[in-house]
Chains A and B, each alone.
Chain A
Amino acid sequence: MEKKFGVYICKGCSIGESINIDNLTKSAARVAKIQPDAVRVHDVLCSPAGLEMIGNDIKEGANTLIIGACSPRVKFEEFDFPGAITERVNLREFVAWSQDPNTDATQSIADDYMKMGIIKAQKGNLPEPNILPDLSKTIVVVGGGISGLTSALEAAEAGYEVVLVEKQADLGGWAAKLYKQIPREYPYEKLEEPAVFGKIKEVEAHPNIKVYKSASIEKTEGQPGLFDVTIRTNGTGETIKAGAFIMAAGWQPYDASKLGHLGYGNPNVITNVQMEEIAKTGKITRPSDGKEAKKVAFIQCAGSRDPEHLPYCSSFCCATSLKQAKYVREKNGDAVAMIFYKDIRTPGQTEIFYKNMQNDPGVLLTKADVTGISDAGNGNMFVEAENTLLGEKIKVEADLVVLATGIVPATRVPQEYLDGLTEAGKKGDDARKAYIESTPKPEFILNLDYRQGPEIPSLEGAYGFADSNFICFQYETRRTGIYSAGCVRQPMTMADASDDAAGAALKAIQCVEHVAQGIAVHPRAWDMTFPDPLMIKCTSCKRCTEECPFGAIDEDEKGTPFYRVNRCRRCGTCMGACPERIVSFKDFSVDIIGSMIKGIEVSEDEFRIVVLACENDAYPALDSAAIKRNKINPNVRIIPIRCLGSTNLVWVTDAFSKGIDGLMLLGCKYGENYQCHFVKGSELANYRFSKVRETLDKLQLEADRCELIQVAISEYDKLPDMINKFVERVEEIGPNPFKEF
Chain B
Amino acid sequence: MPEQIMTQVISPDLNFVKDIIASGGESLKKCYQCSTCTVVCNVTPDDKPFPRKEMMYAQWGMKDKLVSNPDIWLCHQCSDCTAYCPRGAKPGEVLGAVRKISIQHYSPTPLAKMVGDPKYLLILFAIPVLLFLAYIAPKGYLDFSAIPRGENGGIVYSKFMPVFPQIDVTFSAAAFFAALCFAAGITKYWADMSKGAKTQGGNIIGSIKETVMEILAHKRFEKCNVTKERKTSHLLVFYAFAGLAITTTLAIVYLYGFKYESPYPLYDPLKILGNISALALLFGITFVVNNRLKNADKAGKGSYFDWLFIMVIYAVALTGIFAELFRLADIAVLAYPTYFAHLVFVFFLFAFAPFSKMAHMVYRATAMVFARHTNRES
- Evaluate contact between B11 and A358: CB separation under 8 angstroms: no
Stretch at the interface among A162-170, A216-224, A364-372: A364-372
Residues in B with CB closer than 8 Å to A428 are none
- Evaluate contact between B5 and A392: CB separation under 8 angstroms: yes
Q: Among the listed B12, B30, B32, which residue makes an inter-chain contact with A364, where contact means beta carbons less than 8 Å apart?
A: B12
How far, in whole Å, are A204 and B8 apart by their CA atoms in the complex? 56
Instruction: Tell me whether A282 is interfacial, beta carbon within 8 Å.
Output: no
How far, in whole Å, are A130 and B28 apart by their CA atoms in the complex? 67
1/0 contact trace for B1-43 toward A, CB 8 Å? Answer: 0000111111110100110010000001110110000000000
Residues in A with CB closer than 8 Å to B57 are 390
- Evaluate contact between B30 and A394: CB separation under 8 angstroms: no
1/0 contact trace for A353-376 toward B, CB 8 Å? Answer: 001001111111111000000000
Instruction: Tell me whether B208 is interfacial, beta carbon within 8 Å.
Output: no
- Evaluate contact between B33 and A389: CB separation under 8 angstroms: yes
* Chain A residues numbered 584-612 whose CB sits less than 8 Å from any CB in chain B: none
Instruction: Tell me whether B59 is interfacial, beta carbon within 8 Å.
Output: yes
How far, in whole Å, are A363 and B14 apart by their CA atoms in the complex? 9
Residues in A with CB closer than 8 Å to B59 are 364-365
Instruction: Tell me whether B60 is interfacial, beta carbon within 8 Å.
Output: yes
- Evaluate contact between B9 and A336: CB separation under 8 angstroms: no
How far, in whole Å, are A508 and B38 apart by their CA atoms in the complex? 54
- Evaluate contact between A358 and B10: CB separation under 8 angstroms: no
Residues in A with CB closer than 8 Å to B60 are 364, 366, 390
Residues in B with CB closer than 8 Å to A632 are none
Residues in A with CB closer than 8 Å to B62 are 390
- Evaluate contact between A391 and B14: CB separation under 8 angstroms: no
B13 to chain A, nearest CB (A): 9
Given contacts A364-B60, A364-B61, A336 and B7 within 8 Å (CB-CB): no
In the complex, residue of chain A having the shortest beta-carbon distance to the beta carbon of B13:
A336
Q: Among the listed B7, B18, B29, B32, which residue makes an inter-chain contact with A395, where contact means beta carbons less than 8 Å apart?
A: B7
How far, in whole Å, are A577 and B14 apart by their CA atoms in the complex? 69
Instruction: Tell me whether B56 is interfacial, beta carbon within 8 Å.
Output: yes
- Evaluate contact between A396 and B10: CB separation under 8 angstroms: yes
Residues in B with CB closer than 8 Å to A363 are 29
A470 to chain B, nearest CB (A): 29
- Evaluate contact between B30 and A389: CB separation under 8 angstroms: no
In the complex, residue of chain B having the shortest beta-carbon distance to the beta carbon of A367:
B33
Q: Among the listed A355, A391, A397, which residue makes an inter-chain contact with B11, where contact means beta carbons less than 8 Å apart?
A: A397
Select the residue from B12, B57, B61 with max chain A CB neighbours within 10 A: B12
Given contacts A392-B5, A394-B10, A358 and B56 within 8 Å (CB-CB): no
- Evaluate contact between B14 and A336: CB separation under 8 angstroms: yes
Select the residue from A355, A389, A393 with max chain B CB neighbours within 10 A: A389
B152 to chain A, nearest CB (A): 64
How far, in whole Å, are A395 and B6 apart by their CA atoms in the complex? 10
Residues in B with CB closer than 8 Å to A391 are 8
- Evaluate contact between A361 and B32: CB separation under 8 angstroms: no
Residues in B with CB closer than 8 Å to A384 are 7
- Evaluate contact between A389 and B8: CB separation under 8 angstroms: no
B16 to chain A, nearest CB (A): 9
B61 to chain A, nearest CB (A): 7
- Evaluate contact between A390 and B8: CB separation under 8 angstroms: yes
Q: Among the listed B8, B9, B18, B56, which residue makes an inter-chain contact with A361, where contact means beta carbons less than 8 Å apart?
A: B18
B232 to chain A, nearest CB (A): 37
Instruction: Tell me whether A334 is interfacial, beta carbon within 8 Å.
Output: yes
Select the residue from B17, B18, B21, B57 with max chain A CB neighbours within 10 A: B17
Residues in A with CB closer than 8 Å to B6 are 393
Select the residue from B11, B14, B21, B30 with max chain A CB neighbours within 10 A: B14
- Evaluate contact between B32 and A393: CB separation under 8 angstroms: no
Given contacts A365-B59, A366-B60, A390-B60, A360 and B8 within 8 Å (CB-CB): no
1/0 contact trace for A331-346 toward B, CB 8 Å? Answer: 0001010100000000
In the complex, residue of chain B having the shortest beta-carbon distance to the beta carbon of A334:
B14
- Evaluate contact between B29 and A360: CB separation under 8 angstroms: yes
- Evaluate contact between B7 and A338: CB separation under 8 angstroms: no
1/0 contact trace for B56-100 toward A, CB 8 Å? Answer: 110111100000000000000000000000000000000000000
How far, in whole Å, are A336 and B33 apart by their CA atoms in the complex? 20
Select the residue from A362, A391, A393 with max chain B CB neighbours within 10 A: A391
- Evaluate contact between A361 and B17: CB separation under 8 angstroms: yes
Residues in B with CB closer than 8 Å to A390 are 8, 10, 56-57, 60, 62
- Evaluate contact between B17 and A395: CB separation under 8 angstroms: no
* Chain A residues numbered 384-413 whose CB sits less than 8 Å from any CB in chain B: 384, 389-397
How far, in whole Å, are A544 and B10 apart by their CA atoms in the complex? 66
- Evaluate contact between B32 and A338: CB separation under 8 angstroms: no
- Evaluate contact between A359 and B29: CB separation under 8 angstroms: yes
A342 to chain B, nearest CB (A): 14
- Evaluate contact between A395 and B9: CB separation under 8 angstroms: yes
1/0 contact trace for B193-223 toward A, CB 8 Å? Answer: 0000000000000000000000000000000
How far, in whole Å, are A393 and B10 apart by their CA atoms in the complex? 10
How far, in whole Å, are A122 and B362 apart by their CA atoms in the complex? 97
Residues in A with CB closer than 8 Å to B14 are 334, 336, 361-362
Given contacts A389-B33, A389-B56, A362 and B17 within 8 Å (CB-CB): yes
Residues in B with CB closer than 8 Å to A359 are 29-30
In the complex, residue of chain B having the shortest beta-carbon distance to the beta carbon of A358:
B29
Residues in B with CB closer than 8 Å to A382 are 9
Residues in A with CB closer than 8 Å to B21 are 361
Select the residue from B10, B30, B56 with max chain A CB neighbours within 10 A: B10
How far, in whole Å, are A410 and B33 apart by their CA atoms in the complex? 38
Residues in A with CB closer than 8 Å to B5 are 392-393
A326 to chain B, nearest CB (A): 14
B259 to chain A, nearest CB (A): 61
Residues in B with CB closer than 8 Å to A360 are 29
B93 to chain A, nearest CB (A): 15
Given contacts A361-B29, A364-B59, A367-B33, A393 and B12 within 8 Å (CB-CB): no
Residues in A with CB closer than 8 Å to B12 are 295, 336, 338, 364, 396
- Evaluate contact between A393 and B8: CB separation under 8 angstroms: yes
In the complex, residue of chain B having the shortest beta-carbon distance to the beta carbon of A294:
B14
Residues in B with CB closer than 8 Å to A362 are 14, 17
A171 to chain B, nearest CB (A): 39
A371 to chain B, nearest CB (A): 10
How far, in whole Å, are A358 and B31 apart by their CA atoms in the complex? 9
- Evaluate contact between A394 and B18: CB separation under 8 angstroms: no
Q: Among the listed B8, B17, B28, B29, which residue makes an inter-chain contact with A394, where contact means beta carbons less than 8 Å apart?
A: B8
Residues in A with CB closer than 8 Å to B8 are 390-391, 393-395
How far, in whole Å, are A361 and B28 apart by their CA atoms in the complex? 9
Q: Among the listed B17, B30, B33, B61, which residue makes an inter-chain contact with A355, where contact means beta carbons less than 8 Å apart?
A: B30
- Evaluate contact between B32 and A358: CB separation under 8 angstroms: yes
Residues in A with CB closer than 8 Å to B10 are 390, 394-396
- Evaluate contact between B33 and A394: CB separation under 8 angstroms: no
A380 to chain B, nearest CB (A): 11
B43 to chain A, nearest CB (A): 22
In the complex, residue of chain A having the shortest beta-carbon distance to the beta carbon of B62:
A390
A389 to chain B, nearest CB (A): 5
- Evaluate contact between A358 and B61: CB separation under 8 angstroms: no
How far, in whole Å, are A733 and B369 apart by their CA atoms in the complex? 79
* Chain B residues numbered 133-191 whose CB sits less than 8 Å from any CB in chain A: none
How far, in whole Å, are A295 and B8 apart by their CA atoms in the complex? 17
- Evaluate contact between A393 and B7: CB separation under 8 angstroms: yes
In the complex, residue of chain A having the shortest beta-carbon distance to the beta carbon of B32:
A358
- Evaluate contact between A394 and B61: CB separation under 8 angstroms: no
- 8 contacts across the A-B interface (CB closer than 8 A): A336-B12, A359-B29, A361-B17, A361-B18, A365-B59, A393-B6, A393-B7, A395-B8
Which 10 residue pairs of A and B lie closest in terms of their CB atoms, listed nearest first? Answer: A361-B17, A393-B7, A359-B29, A392-B5, A391-B8, A396-B10, A395-B9, A394-B8, A389-B56, A389-B33
Interface residues, chain A, with chain B CB atoms under 8 Å away: 295, 334, 336, 338, 355, 358-367, 382, 384, 389-397
Given contacts A336-B12, A338-B12, A361-B29, 4 further A-B contacts (CB under 8 A): A361-B21, A363-B29, A390-B8, A394-B9
